[in-house]
Chains A and B, each alone.
Chain A
């Protein structure tokens, strides 16, 4: 099974998306949230931290791969930086998804729980970009 990493600027969003996505699956899927930063006073702030993303990838590591879902801006830059810092063999098994964070994570968790491959899970997650929420 692959693992999922949720990268957001906000700690609560990352944790919340993990919970929401986790509720959808019969089999537990390895999923970790990385959100916000901790400043020099130990306070949580809005932001992203590539080294925290790197640590999450390492701690959730699955040989089948790791799919990373991101919110915006520096979440993408931090995820890419984390991949640059990984050894080549691991980097090849990681993918940053273009999927929207919330819907993408829900679909990715479901697909991952069924044992689908990294590429297939990502394809399904990215496909939700084209779903209309409201039918008019």
Chain B
């Protein structure tokens, strides 16, 4: 019997995501300096600081997962300042639609939220897989999560699969030539560098695995 994933865990997820990004600001800056305008670290840090502020105030983020996600989406949209703002914003806005008024979801619902979020990013940025963007980490993660759910794995195992898929996707971006975003101006010179946005997206999945998967298991035992 699979356990529901609670609002408290979603809050934990966002808080871990914010911490992770801030710990890795220098790496994100460095990656964006190689193939972009060197602002991805600063952009994400600015957004994540505001996310943390928002999370401190439970009334500002609402009493259900939908309101929490909407509030985080608006925070990212209005503070990040680069492409990652509207894109991560689209992820949370779209995922929020499935969970209005809900304070716990099943693993199946979680997978559906991830799918909706991915579709939000795809619709906003029009990028396909292999264009060297955050899609290259997100899409394999969502597909792995869906496959794991279909196999009947529990949340911890399913999210670990998603994490491994995101990691492979992120690392694979180094081999790709960018055809979306600022890095596309570099043409073949973008090859050989890992994509900064795919790296942030990997942290999104990594923090989800920690807060929604393993933590749930730890609470159960």
Residues of A within 8 A of B (CB): 37, 39-40, 45-52, 73-74, 77-78, 80-81, 84
Q: List 29 A-B contacts (CB under 8 A).
A: A37-B81, A39-B81, A40-B46, A40-B49, A46-B37, A47-B39, A47-B81, A48-B81, A48-B82, A48-B85, A49-B77, A49-B78, A49-B79, A49-B81, A50-B77, A51-B74, A51-B78, A52-B78, A73-B181, A74-B82, A74-B83, A74-B86, A77-B85, A77-B125, A78-B77, A81-B77, A81-B89, A81-B90, A81-B124
Min CB–CB distance A26 → chain B (angstroms): 37
Nearest-CB residue, chain B, relative to A39: B46
B43 within 8 A of A: yes
Min CB–CB distance A7 → chain B (angstroms): 12
Chain A residues in 8 Å Cβ range of B39: 46-47
Tally B residues with Cβ within 8 Å of A: 24
Query: With A46-B39, A50-B78, A51-B77 in contact, do A78 and B46 touch (Cβ < 8 Å)?
Result: no
Q: How far is the CA of A40 from the CA of B43 in the complex (A)?
A: 11
Chain B residues in 8 Å Cβ range of A77: 83, 85-87, 124-125
Query: With A39-B46, A40-B49 in contact, do A80 and B77 touch (Cβ < 8 Å)?
Result: no
| Contact yes or no, A73 B83, CB < 8 A | yes
Nearest-CB residue, chain B, relative to A38: B81
Chain B interface main SS type: helix
| Contact yes or no, B89 A50, CB < 8 A | yes
Nearest-CB residue, chain A, relative to B73: A81
B189 within 8 A of A: no
Q: How far is the CA of A48 from the CA of B78 in the complex (A)?
A: 9
Q: How far is the CA of A62 from the CA of B78 in the complex (A)?
A: 24
Q: Which of B90, B124, B182 contacts A73 (CB 8 A)?
A: B182
Chain A residues in 8 Å Cβ range of B74: 51
Chain B residues in 8 Å Cβ range of A49: 77-79, 81, 85
Q: How far is the CA of A52 from the CA of B82 in the complex (A)?
A: 13
Kindly identify, within residues 62 to 91 of chain B, every residue whose CB is under 8 Å from any CB belonging to chain A: 74, 77-83, 85-87, 89-90
Query: With A77-B125, A80-B124 in contact, do A50 and B86 touch (Cβ < 8 Å)?
Result: yes
| Contact yes or no, A81 B86, CB < 8 A | yes
Kindly identify, within residues 87 to 114 of chain B, every residue whose CB is under 8 Å from any CB belonging to chain A: 87, 89-90, 93
Nearest-CB residue, chain B, relative to A47: B81
Q: How far is the CA of A37 from the CA of B43 in the complex (A)?
A: 11
